Every structure is written in C-alpha cells, then in structure tokens.
Amino acid sequence: MERILLLGPPGSGKSTLAKRLGSELELPVIHLDEHFWEPGWTMPPEVEWIETQRALIDRHDRWIMDGNYDSTLEVRLPEADTVILLELGRLRSLYRIAKRWWDHRGAVREDMADGCPERFDLEFALYAWSFKERELPEIKEKIDQFGSDVDTITLDASSPEALEEFIERYTAQ
C-alpha cells in the first residue's frame, strides 16, 4: 500500500482515515478537496482539474489521496495500487456532515481549500443521500474499468472497531 485512493460517501471519514494511515505508513496525504475548490466554492474547468491531479500524482512516488471526484477517477485509478472504499448508511452520512458543519461552521477545515468555509446545503445533502444509488455504481464500474490491477478493500465506516482492526493489520506489515 503505497499509492492509496480513499473513496466513500460524505461523512464517512475519508480525510480522518487518510491522515491516520498517512501518519502510520509515512505517506504524504493529499486531500483532493483542498486542490479542487477555488475560493467561494468555485469549480475549476475540468481540463485544469485533470492537470492538477496528474501533477499531484507526479509530485510523489507514494501517497494517499482522499476524495471521490468520480468524473475524473480514471486519472487516478491507473496510478493507484490500493483503493479503500468506505461504506456508510445515508442517515449516518447526513448526521456526520451536519455535525461537521456545526462543529466547523464559518471556518475553513484544514483539509479544504482556502476561501471555502464549511457549508451544508440541500445539494450536498441530496448528494450524500443518493450516494449509494447514484455515485457508488459509477465508482465501482470505473474501478473495474481503470483499476483492474488495484487491490480494493471495502470497509464499514460506521464501525470504529473494524477501522481500528484494519489500521492495525495493514500498518503492522
């Protein structure tokens, strides 16, 4: 595990797990949200976003990246050796993102781009609510298509015990 993609629904703990694994495995952590968004929650043009991802990949021999951005997953999958796919029910996902918003309201999280204070709106709530039905099938299809040699690990993000067991097992190697 030297080039890891961390994928999953909002609130599943991608950034938290990335930080922990990055520390344990001594891997640079790349939070894609930090590189995607421009101030004021402005999206970059897709061509620019693809170039940014390629530059991030080329910058390090080893890394852990968290963030879905499934429309450009084909850029990252061929470069990864491992995909960790976090699963989380929709109610727990909504609860966690609402809690994160409350805890960080008005502030910019350390894993987010400058000028993008924490927010929780209807569009994001609908994205989280429909993640399993709309986003996950596309992610799995792209893993099959572009990451056939990638080791895929699915974890229950609602179980702290399962996550701890995973961390202990994979960082002890």
Residues of the chain scoring pLDDT < 50 = none
CA distance readout (Å), 150 to 17, 40, 161: 19, 35, 25
Q: Where are the domains of the chain?
A: 3-171
**Conformational region of residue 106, where left means phi above 0, alpha means psi within -120 to 50, and beta covers everything else:** left
**What does the alpha-carbon distance between residue 93 and residue 140 come to, in Å, rounded to a whole number?**
19
Which pLDDT does position 171 carry in this prediction?
84
CATH of domain 3-171: 3.40.50.300
pLDDT of residue 130: 96
Which tokens in the block code for residue 38? 């421009």
pTM (two decimals): 0.93
Residue 19 has what pLDDT?
95
Tell me the residue type at 159: S
The pLDDT value recorded for residue 173 is: 65
Widest CA span of the chain, in angstroms?
43
SS (H, E, C) the chain: CCEEEEECCCCCCHHHHHHHHHHHHCCCEEEHHHHHCECCCECCCHHHHHHHHHHHHHHCCCEEEECCCHHHHHHHHHHCCEEEEEECCHHHHHHHHHHHHHHHECCCCCCCCCCCCECCCHHHHHHHHCHHHHHHHHHHHHHHHHCCCCEEEEEECCCHHHHHHHHHHHHCC
In this structure, which long-range contacts are made by residues 23-26, counting pairs with CB atoms below 8 Å and at least 24 apart in sequence? 24/167, 24/171, 25/1, 25/64, 25/170, 25/171
